[in-house]
Structure 1
């Protein structure tokens, strides 16, 4: 059985011609990246759960307040990560359906540099800017 080729690197990905946009190698690259991000977050969430369950007793109320503040901060971070996990799952589903890499609004390519920076991107930069302007108007 022949050895499989090494995984695509960011540099090799960016050197591909525009006609290769969202080919099987690129989709596999982004799937690996999204799955690694998801696995890292799930691991962090498990560690937080263990950390928050640790019952510490403090003689000094200031120490207790500091620990409670740290716990609140951790919970906010995990809440953001939960939202990102949903976006990761959505992005993986778009890979499976053949929609990944294409703007949900315009159907135009999102672009490799944008996807490398934000692999969960659903919109081209222009469409994202329009969405953000609309949010500001309605906020």
Structure 2
């Protein structure tokens, strides 16, 4: 078994950018992440079916409703991530993964290692954040 098959491979900036080996690495990482999110989703759905919806005590019902709202928000974030992962996997298939959707520049290995669903290079992302914050306001980091 090769080091790549064992999972010992990590993309290196000395290699050709978005080589087949790098693309396979990111595809594997994205698929693994997607599988983890699907397991969490299925676990949530199972727990939801097993949880009684009504509690006799109003305080218990209120706490249960708060927990449910938090869990639903988490599930929504997971579903959003799954859609972003699917989009990134599509970019790999189209040969456009790793390049900024706005400028066409390389996103960079370090950024993709940290956020494999990134679709913009740092410069473009920061510019968009500054523009959305408006003059005199501080942008909140939103790495997409």
Q: TM above 0.5, one fold?
A: yes
User: Aligned equivalents of 2:82 and 2:18: distance in 1?
Assistant: 22
Compute the TM-score of the two structures, normalised by the length of structure 1: 0.85
Matched ranges for 1:1-139 at <5 A: 6-7=4-5, 9=8, 12-14=10-12, 16-18=13-15, 20-56=16-52, 57-137=54-134
> RCO greater where, 1 or 2, for CA within 8 Å and sep 6 or more?
1
Compute the TM-score of the two structures, normalised by the length of structure 2: 0.82
Cα displacement string for residues 109-133 of structure 1 (whole angstroms, at most 9, x for unaligned residues): 1111100110000010001111222
Number of positions where the alignment pairs a residue of Structure 1 with one of Structure 2: 133
Gapped runs of 5+ residues in structure 2? 135-144
How big is the shift at 1:76?
0.3
* Runs of 4+, deviation exceeding 4 Å: none
Cα displacement string for residues 30-88 of structure 1 (whole angstroms, at most 9, x for unaligned residues): 00110111111111111111212224253322222212211110100111111111111
SS for the counterpart of 1:43 is helix
Larger helix proportion of the pair = 1
User: Aligned equivalents of 1:60 and 1:22: distance in 2?
Assistant: 58
RMSD: 2.0
Gapped runs of 5+ residues in structure 1? none
